[in-house]
Amino acid sequence: MTRDELVRTLIPDRVRQGAAYQVPDATGMIKLDAMENPYTLPKPMRDELAHRLADCAMNRYPDPHAMAICAPLRRWMGIPDTLDLLFGNGSDEIIGLLISNLIGTGRSVCAPDPSFVMFEVLADQYAVPFRALPLDSEFDIDSDGWMDSLVEADPALIFIPQPNNPTGNLFSKDRLAKIVESTQALIVIDEAYTAFTDADYLDWAIRYPNVVVMRTLSKVGLAGSRFGMLIGHPDWIVEFDKIRLPYNINVLTQTVVQFALECAPTLEEQTGKIRQERRRLTTLLEERGFSVWPSEANFVVVDCKMHSARSLFEGLKQYQILVKCLDGSHPRLANTLRLTVGAPEESNALFGALDQLVSS
Ligand SMILES: Cc1ncc(COP(=O)(O)O)c(C=O)c1O
């Protein structure tokens, strides 16, 4: 057989017909597209980190359980001893790991619609059935509709981003409780944006037998290090730990995370500034006639109203500003842009460009 024929024979159709995850080139641009923290650690801290990294035992495999991180992480996030931790190469890896557990079982995965695309992308990759649960007109949980869908789909796993991406809102607590209490599926409350909201569902992992919580350090300044975590009852974590790759958190990441936890006050100061900037960004957008959806995350969704989201997106690129155009990604996101909350000077550049674009 030729290589071409071999590829066609050996790679499943669903993979060959799919596409790799696309990340736009952001070289030299103001990045307001990926919900990153715009701030770095101050120079003296980075110098200290460089020393620590220089001393890393790169010739050795990392500690498979990254034990040095556990205690400071528990302290910072207030994680009680009754819950265990599992770490991932970003929470994306944990999402994949949870879904891969269902391969061959015929059980499905559910997630709100619209929400974080990786739930469906990874379900497709593992050929695990995926069922979207449409949100109501306020982008909240549609309790009755969901109950019917859940009976039909009989999922083993339900992801609930709280707050949701890309809509930015928190789902109502009572509606979420109703779903948790009415299903036998494992519910993963994905608190990727926990640093930007006062909501905290950690205690649900204790209260409910079918809830675990997922978090990430990506949004507080460590997107480049790739570090996510699953927090849950030991009965859950011990099982998922069996399907985790043994050395999934490399020594460099372990060192960076340990150091970042020592710098927690600085990270908190930065996330505090982002929360403030979210208010200013919202006000400035509304003053210009845009409609901004309420957000508890480090991004806002903007309904461009009389302007075209796609033209603004393209126009902003000419000013070296990269945002996320949601138009076309979902019928309910038509003519919207998702703007990551950046530093004040980045917002100022954004408004400088927007003002030019809407007046031309
Ligand atoms: C809701 C949600 N969960 C998880 C992730 C993935 O985070 P990580 O960088 O830890 O893989 C994201 C990233 O945007 C997200 O929006």
Helix axis angle for 251-262 and 264-287, nearest 10°, is 80
**Helices 143-153 and 173-182, axial angle in degrees (round to 10):** 20
**To test the ligand 1 pocket, which listed residue (33, 99, 218) has its Cβ within 8 A of the most ligand atoms?**
218
- Which residues make beta-bridge pairs with 248? none
Ligand 1 within 6 A of CB of 196: no
Count Cβ atoms below 10 Å from residue 35 Cβ, excluding itself: 23
Q: Count the Cβ atoms, other than its own, within 10 Å of residue 242.
A: 7
What digits encode the pLDDT tens for the residues 303-352?
998 999 999 999 999 999 999 999 999 999 999 999 999 999 999 999 99
| Structure tokens, 274 | 């982002």
**Residue whose CA lies nearest to ligand 1 atom number 16:** 165
In ligand 1, the atom with minimum distance to the C-alpha of 161 is: 1
Mean residue pLDDT across the chain = 97
Query: Cβ(167)–Cβ(293) under 8 Å?
Result: yes
Closest residue by Cα to atom 12, ligand 1, is 192
Rg of the chain (C-alpha set)? 21
For residue 217, CA distances in Å to 136, 193, 230, 250 come to 30, 9, 12, 15
Ligand 1 proximity of 190 Cβ (cutoff 6 Å): yes
Alpha carbon of 334 to ligand 1 centroid (Å): 22
* Probe residue for ligand 1, chosen from 89, 91, 167, 257 as the CB with the greatest number of ligand atoms within 8 Å: 91
Query: H or E stretch including 157?
Result: strand 155-161
Q: Which residue has the tokens 């980190």?
A: 49
> pLDDT tens, 28-55?
999 999 999 999 999 999 999 999 999 9
Q: Helices (DSSP H) in 245-293: which residue ranges?
A: 251-262, 264-287
Element (H, E) at 134: strand 130-134
Our answer on whether the CB atom of 91 is closer than 6 Å to any ligand 1 atom is yes
DSSP 42: P
CA 296 to centroid of ligand 1, rounded, Å: 15
Q: State if residue 35 touches ligand 1 by the CB under 6 angstroms criterion.
A: yes
Residue 314 has a pLDDT of: 98
Closest protein CA for atom 7 of ligand 1: 91
Q: What is the mean pLDDT of residues 188-201?
A: 98
Q: Which two tokens stand for residue 287?
A: 């003053």
Ligand 1: centre distance to CA 3 (Å): 36
Predicted local distance difference test score (pLDDT) of residue 106: 93
Decide: 84 and 237 in contact? Cβ < 8 Å: yes
Ordered structural domains, the chain, with CATH:
3-42+265-359 (3.90.1150.10), 54-263 (3.40.640.10)
Q: Closest by alpha carbon to 228, among 91, 50, 334? A: 91
Give residue 360's pLDDT. 74
Q: What percent of the chain has pLDDT over 70?
A: 100
| Position in ligand 1 atom list of the atom nearest CA 115 | 1
Check residue 53 and give its pLDDT.
98
* The predicted structure's pLDDT at residue 91: 98
Q: Per-residue pLDDT averaged across 226-241, rounded?
A: 98
- Two tokens at 116? 């974080």
Edge-to-edge, what's the strand order for the sheet holding 155-161?
A: 84-88, 228-232, 211-216, 186-190, 155-161, 108-113, 130-134
Tell me if 313 CB under 6 Å of ligand 1: no
Measure 195 CA to ligand 1 centroid, in angstroms.
13
Residue range 114-125: average pLDDT? Answer: 96
Q: Are 354 and 289 in contact (CB under 8 A)?
A: no
What does the pLDDT average to over 229-235? 98
